[in-house]
Chains A and B, each alone.
Chain A
Amino acid sequence: MKKLCAVLIIVALAVLIVAPVSASAVQPPLLSTNELVENSYKWDGQTVSFKGEILQDLMVREDGTWMNLSDGNNTAMGVFVPKGVAMPVISRTEDYRTVGDVVLITGVFHRVCAQHEGETDIHAVSVTVLTPGSAKANPIRLGRAVWFVVLAGLLGLVMWLYYRKPGRGTEH
């Protein structure tokens, strides 16, 4: 009886230790657009993670939602979230005055998606908002305002000089 209990306790401990380890080993790799595009054959059909800022237009369509996630200088990836997958509430998308929500998705990468006529995309299976968006500053610099006033003033002067002689205008 005591031996049986000991074995059961050891097995239970083993399971408790091994289970979380194996679960995290299955975490899909976090990749960039460059990595996915350069090695598209390698990652084709694989489950990957991708992180990026949602660009301006979140396109809701019949069978799901398209979002474009920007993850660097002139790199962005199209991510399709099918109807069945839960979409969190997106507070902001990118524009000049706003930093968009940064989301983390996991999904299947397609080199040439058959459903989307050859597109390079990721079909998401999970979407989470990592960092909600915020307003962007873009302050008006005093130096520039001064430049404008100076240039406008000079322009006014030159235009006056040009137009004041009668018959100057567009005659030539």
Chain B
Amino acid sequence: MIRRVWREDFRIIGYYTGLVTIGVGLLMLVPMVTSLVFREWASALDFAISAALTLLVGYVLVLISRTKSTPGLTHAMVIAAGSWLVAMVLSGVPYMLSGHSESFLDACFDTMSGYTTTGIFLLQDLDHISQGLNMWRHLLTYVGGQGIVVLALTFLIGSTGGAFKIMVGEGKEEKLEPNVRHIAVLIWRISLIYLGVGTVALGLIAIANGIKPSLAFFHGAYVFMSAWSTGGFAPYSQNMLYYHSSAMEIASMVFFILGSFNFALHYAIWSGNRREILRNVEIVSFTITVLTTFSLVCLALMQRGVYPDAVALFRRGFFQLVSGHTTTGQSNIYARTFVREWGPLGMLATTIAMAIGASAASTGGGFKGLRMGIIVKGIATDIRKLLSPERAVVTGHYHHLHDNTLTDSVVKGAAVIVVLYVLIYVVGAVVGMAYGYPMVDAFFESVSAGSNTGLSCGVTQASMPTLLKIVYMLEMWMGRLEFLSVFTLFGFIATSFRSMRVRKAAV
């Protein structure tokens, strides 16, 4: 990859980034219409302005970057990372216009959090925003979960080769079918069917709980989008506490657990291979780690006598822990309650769950269950090798859609990414501690950002240090794109500077 950067490279990157930007602009029409429906005229105008601006930027980009070339792998990675940044900035415009963000950085923090399906936010006075802005926030997580890139793929790109490479840059590497358009359509089909089913189910539960029908399905849509994308936003500051409904919480939990599954797994199951759900290494890993970390949580909560009975322990404890493990971030307890009542062991168990995270090629974050499974099996295989006679051939296997051999490079690949995640978790924690936050809190919040979970213990506030905001934003971004795309973008920028200097010298 380290080669000279030519003008054509910029054209390719500009063109596809422009297409994604146009997609984002079109998306802004949804909250605009929402505001019109609720007669929120000022909010509708804000979205009209934002949409016009975003579409303008997008069309200018494609106009000046006209190209017939298809993107190579490097281009794809740069496009994935770059369009993420462009989308983040432009999507912050509605936040700024609403007056609910204290600064443009805060607005970008929120949009980065939305697109990466994290869920921590700096928005002021969430309880008084427009339906339009609430629709926008939740839509960001839904679309972010699907990958901004998949959005572009489905509607805007014709050829297949370049598009597949963009999706790999996005961090969803499963080889589902040779035709990328087919994959994108499939991902969307499963997601849209669940969107329909979920919105209706949650809407009906909301009505049963006393919410007006005209509003109930909006609540249903918001909660579903937040759950399926494992985002963790909610329309009000009390998060799931707002609804005072165990039915709402359990339904949401079903959807966020499902959203944390590998899309290749959904595809396999929906294609008839239903046995896969019991054999898949990620599902096995997830089940084990969820039940283990939950047992630790129960231990901590029982020791501190936090809840009066099993039902309360389950409803609060299980929801919070699974929300963390799937990297969703919805909560049915106050953030400060979590810190003060659960205590260090409870917080640590939740932190570990968040760090491990969801499945690969899903809307979730963290190390990913696939890597946990691979590393654990790798260690087991090494132990077996040590104990076997020298001439015996020992190979490990893991089942993911089909049986796979556990080669050294597979284990190494998994381990490298896990180390990188640990690195960002630690850096974020250290910066937090440098600003005076207690160690447990700093670690928790850092892991929450880096694993794109979104549970907060109170560190994330508009008043928090600017550097810490930037560190969390970088963590969210790198965590979501699993490092490769971000590193490629930085490498590309560095190389283009070097190329420019070489060309100047040559002249």
The chain A residues found within 8 Å of chain B, CB to CB, are: 34, 37-38, 40, 55-61, 65-66, 68, 70, 73-76, 78, 80, 94-97, 111-112, 114, 116-121, 138-141, 144-145, 147-148, 151-152, 154-155, 158-159, 161-162, 168, 170-172
A114/B62 in contact, CB under 8 A: no
Q: In the assembly, what is the distance between CA of A61 and CA of B206, in Å?
A: 11
Contact residues in A for B337 (Cβ distance below 8 Å): 37, 40, 120
Contact residues in B for A80 (Cβ distance below 8 Å): 244
Number of interface residues of B (CB under 8 A): 68
Query: Beyond the given A96-B43, A96-B130, A117-B312, could you list 8 further A-B residue pairs with CB under 8 A, ordered by the A residue number?
Result: A57-B242, A60-B210, A73-B124, A76-B238, A96-B38, A118-B312, A118-B315, A172-B69
Are A68 and B242 also in contact (CB < 8 A) when A138-B40, A138-B42, A151-B49 are? yes
Q: In the assembly, what is the distance between CA of A154 and CA of B55, in Å?
A: 10
Select which of A121, A145, A171 is within 8 A of B158 by beta carbon.
A171
Q: In the assembly, what is the distance between CA of A88 and CA of B431, in Å?
A: 51
- 23 residue pairs A–B, Cβ–Cβ below 8 Å: A56-B215, A74-B125, A74-B237, A76-B242, A78-B244, A95-B131, A96-B40, A96-B130, A111-B341, A117-B316, A120-B333, A120-B337, A121-B244, A144-B45, A151-B49, A152-B48, A158-B59, A158-B60, A159-B59, A162-B59, A171-B158, A172-B69, A172-B70
Task: Indicate if B497 sits at the interface (CB-CB under 8 A).
Answer: no
Q: In the assembly, what is the distance between CA of A147 and CA of B15, in Å?
A: 26
Q: In the assembly, what is the distance between CA of A148 and CA of B15, in Å?
A: 25
Interface string of B15-36 (1 = CB under 8 A from A): 1000000000000000000000
Select which of B211, B215, B312, B333 is within 8 A of A114 by beta carbon.
B312
Task: Indicate if B306 sits at the interface (CB-CB under 8 A).
Answer: yes
Task: Indicate if B336 sits at the interface (CB-CB under 8 A).
Answer: yes
A114/B308 in contact, CB under 8 A: yes
A155/B52 in contact, CB under 8 A: yes
A148/B66 in contact, CB under 8 A: no
Most chain A CB within 10 A, of B66, B69, B128, B243, is at B128
Q: In the assembly, what is the distance between CA of A152 and CA of B32, in Å?
A: 15
B59/A155 in contact, CB under 8 A: yes
Task: Indicate if B157 sits at the interface (CB-CB under 8 A).
Answer: yes
| Chain B residue at minimum C-beta to C-beta distance from A36 | B334
